Amino acid sequence: MSRNLLELTDIHVSYGRAEVLHGISLAMRPGSIVTVIGANGAGKTTLLNAVMGVIPSTGAILYDGAPVPRSVEARVAAGLCLVPEKRELFSSMTVEDNIELGGFLRRASERGETREEVYTRFPRLAERRKQLAGTLSGGERQMLALARALMSRPRLLLLDEPSLGLAPKIVVDILNIVSELRKTGVAILLVEQNARAALEIADEGYLVELGEVRRSGPAAELAVDPALMESYLGAHS
């Protein structure tokens, strides 16, 4: 059996004297989709930022069986990539230039091949490659954020609320794209408030409340758990 691609053990994060993550443990296999669900303020975004090295944490983070590199840049080079909740695109730059920036650590010859793969996966972006990113719709901006991330050829993609602020039909389109990415071999750690939609595409799920894992297990089982349905999933039906 292959080892875990990512393994978190007893992760704690504090902002000043306030601890916001209280011993989170999580594991995921290569090529899998694991979703972390929970209400606003549960600590989901903090968890992704800790994995990426954006904020300091205590506990163990193993990536492909070894301690994760210390710096954000080294983690990117090792194959981790974070798509933040606010997408953080360069609005005054073109779609094409935003995508190109995603591959800044790779050789020009490699970037060209990946760029064409990205445009094949996102034909709407190919049509708008000369358009300013700031003029795109919400769904197109999320596609661009994903496309830019894929330019780094990640092995582990960290997605923070990819459906945030999008119309229901666009949410379905975006999560279908996320599900399709699994076929490329990339593993995805997906943070989502839309628990029902996230569990539909994930292999495993973790419910985080107030900085702690309250429930975990196969996503298909969590999606039909009566207690979870009544107390949490019902809010997203």
Beta carbons of 37 and 198 less than 8 angstroms apart? yes
Domains of the chain: 1-79+155-237 (3.40.50.300), 88-153 (no CATH)
Average pLDDT, the chain: 90
- Its pTM stands at 0.90
Query: Of 17-31, 108-122, 141-155, which range is least confident?
Result: 108-122
Q: Rounded to an integer, what is the distance from CA 81 to the centroid of its chain?
A: 8
Segment 175-179 shows an average pLDDT of 91
Residue 107 banded pLDDT, cuts 50, 70, 90: low
Q: Is the pLDDT of residue 49 over 90?
A: yes
pLDDT for the residue numbered 237:
38
> Which helix (H) or strand (E) segment is 22 a member of?
strand 18-28
Residue 235 banded pLDDT, cuts 50, 70, 90: very low
Write out pLDDT tens, residues 183-200. Answer: 889 999 999 888 888 999
Write out pLDDT tens, residues 35-44. Answer: 999 888 899 9
Strands (E) located in 112-197: 156-160, 187-192
Other residues' Cβ atoms within 10 Å of the Cβ of residue 220: 13
Segment 171-186 shows an average pLDDT of 90
User: CB neighbours of 114 closer than 8 A, spacing ≥ 6?
Assistant: 103, 106, 150, 151, 153
CA distances to 22, 99, 137, 163, 194 from 166, in Å: 31, 21, 9, 6, 11
Segment 25-53 shows an average pLDDT of 95
pLDDT for the residue numbered 164:
86
